Structure 1
Amino acid sequence: MPEKRHIYWHFVSSRTDRIEQVKRDWRERGFPEVPDDADFIPLPDEPGPVRYP
């Protein structure tokens, strides 16, 4: 694929704005629930900056 991919948790897109939108949708539970699964898994915390020695 020639376009750059952006990854956050299990979301992948070629557009960073789409990643941000799906993160908002997930926090607001904007996705259909999985039948027989009542657990909600919150998004992980935003990763901190990576520092190399």
Structure 2
Amino acid sequence: MLNAYKKYWKNYFNFKDSSSRSDYWWLILANVIIFTILLIFSNKEFYAAILSSKLVTKV
């Protein structure tokens, strides 16, 4: 997945070649994962609930 993501950014302006279907879908999956993580941590209420949970210990 990381190789497909790196390949995408290296060939972003390369219009001569095309990417494979698997590269495309790996890129989409990586973007979904990244934006889901960002969405979770941008929600202050959810983040506060995680920090106040007993699962996370404060150092």
TM-score (norm 1): 0.31
Q: Which has the higher strand share?
A: 1
Higher relative contact order (CA 8 A, sep 6+): 2
Q: Which has the higher helix share?
A: 2
TM-score (norm 2): 0.28
